[in-house]
Structure 1
Amino acid sequence: MNNSAPTATPEFLAALIQIVGEQRVRSDPADCWPYGYDNSRRHALPEWVVFALTHEEVRDLVRLCNKARVPIVPRGRGTGTTGATVPISGGLVLSLERMNRIRMLDPTNRAMVVEPGVTNQEVQIAAGQQGFFWPPDPTSAAFCTLGGNLAYNSAGPRAVKYGTPRENVLALRAVTGAGEEFRCGTYTTKGVVGYDLTRLLIGSEGTLAIITEATLRLTPLPEAKRTLRAAYKDTESAGQAVADLMSQPLTPCALELMDRQAVTLVQAQGGIELPPGTGALLMIEVDGPATAMEDAVTQLKKAAHNAGLLEIVAARTPQESKQLWAARKALSPALRTLAPKKINEDVVVPVSHLPALISGLERLAKEFAITIVNFGHAGNGNLHVNLLTDPDEPTERERTKKCLEQVFKLVLSLKGSLSGEHGVGLEKRDFVAQELDPAALNLMERLKAQFDPQGILNPQKTLPLKTST
């Protein structure tokens, strides 16, 4: 794999301009600087930034970079948290944010064809006008691009019932690192011809190919939805309730958890009324036919009840639902205010092991004297583990590093995975070998070499670095 920095030659810049025009090429460091960031706070300066508008431009740009052995990093809006779009090898950042067209909406076949730069929210609005929605709904839906959702397999709360992007994408159009253009998948909901390259590319963080078009599988909007909020005396009780809720027949369309530290934070913001002694919250939503909602609420209340339950309330109107969600909505701003440089990890375990994960995290918080705030998509066993720490303080940084290593060790001991939807990027790359065995990693390295023989596509991301490099 070639990771050497390219030389900024006038000839290469001229070739970029020939493909997309001078107005869509940046080479001044001041103009390129903002495109060296993502939401991980990491930064590296690219030598060029190019804004593509068409599949053909992406193809020609990749072929040029492949020939010149220039690293190329595809990028949407930079909302990712793992450094996956940070150009640590320099080279060219290929911005896809202007490829933002919805090419087709086909209600009869429940499909939508879109470009990678369209935002998740724009997809939802367009689908909603026809009575449908696209299930993946990350918190950053108003800003994140569809291409970024696919790159990380980002899902959000609805994944507990409706699945992740891998279950909700029918087909892709893409360009390999060698500049080969191809289509994979089908326009039908059934199809078993050839290997499943569609699911392979989703979650690959732009290291195998650059996605230029996606055919999405749409789902009809539910007739009705009800929201419940359950308060528990401790996180163990809430974790057990999650396991009980997921072991009964009715699947919630959202099941979110907030631990004691999270509850304390939002209560400090004011305006949130919770029972005294609340140590954890569950947000539960169910959707379906309007005539079934009352029975569904009764069934969920029964499943959520255990000795630690303090209160469970159900909203009857959209306004009441908004009030119940207020605690969860207030959490992220509170965390950013309290610890701007916090470490946000995204781990997942089998739902039955969620109580053990929560108790283990509380033990690690005490052992390392670090405040850990946990919340997230409990119905999938997917928690966002926030270490409120200052990485700029050397002693604290070392203690946090050791704590994080133990967090990952705990997750893997519970048959979990190091990332549920935030991806690997740079932040978790060096831990991947703890989850995947050598044979699997070897196969992945060979796949990478087949798709990207010069190693130009988003180099040094996702897979552990070879010891020889």
Structure 2
Amino acid sequence: MKLPDSLVDTLHAVFGKEGCSTNEAKRLAYAYDNSRRNALPDAVVFAQEHPQIESLVRVCREHRVPVVARGRGTNTTGATVPVDGGVVVSFERMNRIVRIDPENRYAIVEPGVLNGDLQIALRPHGFFWPPDPTSSPWCSIGGNLACNSAGPRTVKYGSPRENTLGLRAVAGTGEGFRCGTYTSKGATGYDLTRLLIGSEGTLALITEATLKLTPKPTGLRTLRATYRDVSSAAHAVARIMAQPVTPCALEFIDDVALKLARDHGGDSVPVAGAMLMIEVDGEPETLPSAVEAVSRAARGDGLDELRVAQTAEETQALWSARKALSPAQRTISPNKINEDVVVPVSRLPELVDGIRLLSKKHDVLIVTFGHAGNGNLHVNLLPRDEAERERAHVCLAEVFALVISLHGTLSGEHGIGLVKREFMPLALQPSTLNLMHNVKAAFDPDGILNPGKLLP
């Protein structure tokens, strides 16, 4: 659509000449995300302060023009693709760390701050923010909050929902508000903070976050366990998570993934039926007993080898298989379908076995790895031609059905976006979806915030 001249004039007035663009080349750069889907917005604006967002939403609501929030575009579900055109608001220039308060264990940041930059800034204070997606060097805090993106450390320290105290945001009415607390406890009304986290910009645009910080442990030990087959490894995960010492990372890699990584990364990647990467953190004097407790649980039927790294170089070598996976998959399939399903940890063996059967049934290569300590596996379908792509989409529907049958859910950290919208009725009852639509209407009565995402 062509935006009304009065709207464009207002955008230029609010964001300035350098903060608003209707140039096609600039709009193309904000038309896609890591899902490889794209749709051209009608304008792009670059926010620098909260009042600008209030003005933007008010004027877009007046003209019924969509507003799509965007961090750094690392999302894999199409959540930031402006499918109905409108205005993309980039938060990349709204990237200030407002305050670090070690005494009260929180940091106040703007949404454009990169996850990795925040971790570096917290290091001298002896703290970290637990969410650590693989894309942490270039993904933004706002994007982490929008999709509840987490990473390996979630198994011990929780996701953004457990590590965010409060938010400042702007609803679809153009009204700014603050929710949450500056304290670690609070029981004052509805928990709008946790509601907004994971809502993918469909309820409000986050302009500031108060993040709960965690003291950084001084010791870390890395273990690698290889198994005869994927079922043995999956059962080991259940044993590890059933004993008192919680690892700070527990990653699962299946045999197909290991073969790919070995082809790409060389002999440092072991030959095995499956592998677990395990990390345990804490104070140095407590680590030996923690390592022993986790090692006991890792041992069992099907274990081939259990190695404990003694040096930083050994740790890096043990992680080599996991690091080689992404480039290895890209060499096989540029049309990779990357899903992140979750099941209760005790059901992981059934999920892993079920995925293997579906891979054979549909003759589609599937690579499975991920954050097994949470029951969160990345299921990567790797179609190599058009026929395989068609089979892969049929297979994906059956993967989701399997996950739901195991009392699991569609996403652990990637979100729903465009890709999984059609499967939401599989995961949620009609009455639940109806309540979600009502919540959406309360925050965004005219439906201008990121339309076409998350809710079917």
Name the TM-score class by shorter chain: over 0.9
Q: CA deviation at 1:275?
A: 5.4
* Match of residue 247 from structure 2: 252
Q: Which residue of 2 aligns with 1:3?
A: none
Counterparts of 2:404 and 2:144 in 1: how far apart (Å)? 25
Aligned CA distance change for structure 1 residues 314 and 186 (closer, same or farther; 3 Å): same
Aligned match of 1:59 = 54
Residue 218 of structure 1 aligns to which amino acid in structure 2? L
Deviations 1:258-302 (A, max 9, x none): 0010011111124334555x1111000000110011111111111
Q: Structure 1, unaligned stretches of length 5 or more?
A: 1-5, 465-469
2: CA distance, partners of 1:344 / 1:33? 24
Instruction: State the number of aligned residues.
Output: 456
CA contact (8 A) 2:251 2:373 kept: yes
8 Å contact kept, 2:251–2:372: yes
Deviation digits for residues 296-322 of structure 1, max 9, x if unmatched?
Answer: 111111100112100010011222111
Is the Cα–Cα contact under 8 Å of residues 272 and 327 in structure 1 kept in the other structure?
no
Aligned: 1:346 with 2:343:
no
Instruction: Please name the residue that 2:324 is paired with.
Output: 330
Q: Counterpart of 1:57 in structure 2: which amino acid?
A: Q
RMSD of aligned Cα (Å)? 1.0
CA distance in 2, matches of 1:428, 1:129: 40
- Mapped pair 1:165 → 2:160: yes
CA contact (8 A) 1:173 1:214 kept: yes
Deviation of residue 396 (structure 1)? Answer: 2.5
Post-superposition Cα deviations, 1:50-78, rounded to whole Å, max 9, x if no partner, equal: 00100011111111111111100000100
TM-score where L is the length of structure 1: 0.96
Pairing 1:160-309 to 2, within 5 Å after superposition: 160-273=155-268, 276=271, 278-309=272-303
1:213 to partner: Cα distance: 0.1
Q: Distance in 1 between matches of 2:18 and 2:130?
A: 36
Contact 2:268 2:320 in 1 (8 A): no
Q: Distance between the aligned counterparts of 2:3 and 2:269, measured in 1?
A: 59
Q: Is the 8 A contact 2:119 2:129 kept in 1?
A: yes
For residues 129-186 of structure 1, what are the alpha-carbon distances to aligned partners after superposition, in whole Å with 9 as ceiling and x for unaligned? 1000000000000000000000000010000000000000000000001101000000
Structure 2 alignment gaps of length 5 or more: none
Corresponding position of 1:399: 391
Structure 2 residue corresponding to 1:367, chosen from 349, 361, 364: 361
The CA deviation string for residues 9-50 of structure 1, in whole angstroms up to 9 with x for no partner, is 222111100101111111022220110100000000000000
Query: Hey, what's the Cα distance between the residues in 1 that align with 2:132 and 2:267?
Result: 25
**Which among 451, 460, 465 is matched to residue 452 of structure 2?**
460
Match of 1:433 in 2: 425
Aligned counterparts of 2:409 and 2:255: Cα–Cα separation in 1: 24
Deviation at 1:397, TM superposition (A): 2.7
How far apart in 2 are the matches of 1:216 and 1:201?
14
Residues 1:270 and 1:445: Cα distance change in structure 2 (over 3 Å): closer
Write the letter of the residue equivalent to 2:86: G
Query: Identity over aligned residues, as a percent?
Result: 59
| 2:5 equivalent to 1:13 | no
Equivalent residue of 2:30, what SS?
helix
Residue aligning to 1:467 = none
Residues of 1 paired with 2:329 and 2:190: CA distance?
43
- Which of 126, 132, 137 in structure 1 is aligned with 2:132? 137
Greater CA deviation, 122-131 or 377-386? 122-131
* Structure 1 CA distance for aligned equivalents of residues 301 and 423 of structure 2: 38
Please give the TM-score of this superposition, normalised by the length of structure 2.
0.99
Q: Could you list the structure 1 runs, at least 4 aligned residues long, displaced by more than 4 angstroms after superposition.
A: none
Residue 265 of structure 2 contacts residue 321 of structure 2 at CA under 8 Å; is this kept in 1?
Answer: no
Instruction: Provide, for residues 356-389 of structure 1, a one-character-per-residue CA deviation record: whole Å limited to 9, x for no partner.
Output: 0000000000000000000000000000000001
Secondary structure in structure 2 of the residue aligned to 1:36? coil
Which SS does the other structure have where 2:319 is aligned? helix
How far apart, CA to CA, are the structure 2 residues paired with 1:197 and 1:329? Answer: 37
Which residue identity does 2:73 align to in structure 1?
Answer: G
Tell me the residue number matched to 1:447. Answer: 439
Letter in 1 for 2:412: G
Give the letter aligned to residue 152 of structure 1. C
Q: AA paired with 2:25?
A: A
Conservation of the 8 A alpha-carbon contact between 1:266 and 1:272? no
Query: 1-side partners of 2:270 and 2:25: how far apart?
Result: 52
CA contact (8 A) 1:272 1:326 kept: no
Corresponding residue number in structure 2 for 1:421: 413
**Residue identity in the other structure for 1:430:** E
Code of the aligned partner of 2:419: E
Instruction: Give the C-alpha shift of residue 354 in structure 1.
Output: 0.3
